[in-house]
Structure 1
Amino acid sequence: MIGRPESPHSGWRSLSPDITPLLDIIFIVLVFLMLTANIPLQSLEVDLPKTDSEALSRVQDNKTVTINLLAGSPAWALQGEKYEHWEQFKPVLQSQLTTLKDAELVLASDKEVTVDNMLKLLAFLQEHQIQATQILMEDGQ
């Protein structure tokens, strides 16, 4: 009959497998499954206009100011009036601060405009607590 050796030098622990790593892995997987199983879904409700005419009428009723970012030269425009450099355009914006704060602001940018021009404008608007209500984007096809 096969039996365990009873000698003190070769104890029965040396023949049985060590299951500590297996238990560690099982507990890690168990914790992972418990943490990921009940994640609540977060949602953001958005009220969209029911028709295009409703959205257009809201924009037309309000006073709007359009700032254009153009590729190349001239690089800036306010209500269709173009400016070559930021140093020329910034004083014009500063003189129109009350109008920009009261009106609905629309930012329209060409897709070829560099990021630094957009960041200059957004930093100016943030510095003066002016929020852009619409940013026009071209459909990327």
Structure 2
Amino acid sequence: MDPQLDQAWQELLQAQEHPVRGLVRADVPEGPGVYLWRRNGALSYVGTASNLRGRVWSKHLGVGTSLAGSSLRRNVCELLFAIPPAVTGNPNRMRITAAQASEIREWLGECAVAWVERPTRYEAGVYEGQLRRTHLPHLNRV
């Protein structure tokens, strides 16, 4: 493995974890960065954001029945209910029920999230792309 990539991965893995149940909106920074989700200590998902707070808090922890804005929520939906992300990813297609949205949020509530800020959205995207290709978490899609 590329030593620079290994160092970047270690930085993300060692970033402070925040249990989702105790997370408040103000805890999440507004800058660009890369984030990861863990469940029961196992890496589940890696993502990037131009605004970490908007992505992590508003999109991934959203309570709505549309999953179009969160690939993480779509992939958890597939895991829990066997509904393919291609079906729930289009805002004009299937929406999930309020009960299903609640179960997805409950599943995510049992996770921890960590992040590393980056100076620009571009740098965050490059960083995240390298990490995903090298260490593909089970809830990420190539």
Shorter-chain TM-score range = under 0.3
TM-score (norm 2): 0.24
Structure with higher RCO (Cα < 8 A, 6+ apart): 2
TM-score normalised by L of structure 1? 0.24
